[in-house]
Homo-oligomer: A and B are copies of this chain.
């Protein structure tokens, strides 16, 4: 959908949007997938609008698919952001419209304040393809603690999503969505240390995870390094 087609669309709910914080795990740190408006030096999490007769969750999945081509993703709603100034600063729509010389009415819905519902997605970093979408943006992964200049209040949305992820931490859901099919205990530990921002004892962490009874142990991983080969694990299928 082009910007012109977007602003001509009539059957969106006015002043309501969905934004998705996409978390991935790589290089022992928690990453987030951001889209860049390439004419602008602004990054954003993928977001969009809800059709008048569309389930909010369906809208979140659709928007995620349209803007990243990710399907069958774990998505969790976490908070509705309703500040009156939240779309005032770093508003890429206004800047793009101005750049393209498109004149739109001051009362057009895209110029109004939006309430946005935040969702987070958990995806396997190794399976994601980052690619430019119809808005001619580029995509890239960023460390959650080292974000670039963000559109709107997207930095606060990411923070709140991460906080929700931490508070409602489910070892099974988080691990099975953020790690590849098979992984070592060290991978798992690195993941939880990155999310929770604290270090654990190697041996105690291992015992804790095994006691949860959510892992299957597989063959050992021979990496060629001069030490004992770790077992590979996967999450048990339901």
Binding site for B on A (CB under 8 A): 13-16, 50, 52-57, 59, 77, 79-84, 112-113, 115, 117, 167-168
Which of B56, B83, B84, B113 contacts A115, CB < 8 Å? Answer: B56
CA distance A15 to B84 in the complex (A): 18
Bound-state CA distance A56–B17 (Å) is 14
Chain B residues with CB below 8 A from A112, complex form: 52
- Closest chain B residue, CB of each to CB of A168: B167
- Alpha-carbon distance between A38 and B228 when the two chains are bound, in angstroms: 74
Assess whether A50 is in contact with B13, with CB atoms less than 8 Å apart: no
- CB pair B82–A50 under 8 Å, yes or no, is yes
**A80 contact set on B, CB distance < 8 A:** 56, 77, 80, 117
Query: Which residues from chain B contact A57 at a C-beta distance below 8 Å?
Result: 82
In the complex, what's the smallest C-beta–C-beta distance from A209 to chain B, in angstroms? 23
4 tightest CB-CB pairs across the interface, nearest first? A56-B82, A13-B15, A80-B80, A80-B117
Copy count, this protein chain: 2
A–B Cβ pairs within 8 angstroms, 5 of them: A53-B113, A55-B82, A55-B84, A56-B81, A56-B83
- Neighbouring B residues of A167 by C-beta, 8 Å: 168
CB distance from A153 to the nearest CB of B (A): 13
Report Cα–Cα, A172/B125, bound state, in Å: 40
The distance in angstroms between the C-alpha atoms of A167 and B164, with both chains bound, is: 12
Complex CA gap A121/B169 in Å reads 25
Q: Give A52 to B81 CA distance when docked, in angstroms.
A: 14
The distance in angstroms between the C-alpha atoms of A83 and B59, with both chains bound, is 11
Of B59, B79, B115, B168, which one neighbours A16 at CB under 8 angstroms?
Answer: B115
Q: Which residues from B are CB-within-8-Å of A117?
A: 80, 82, 115
Residues of B within 8 A of A81 (CB): 56
Decide: B52 and A113 in contact? CB cutoff 8 A: yes
Residue with the highest number of chain B CB atoms closer than 10 Å, among A14, A82, A113 = A82
- The docked-state distance in angstroms from the alpha carbon of A58 to that of B84 is 10
Q: Give which listed residue, B59, B84, B113, B168, contacts A82 with CB less than 8 A.
A: B59
**A54 touches which of B54, B55, B84 (Cβ 8 Å):** B84
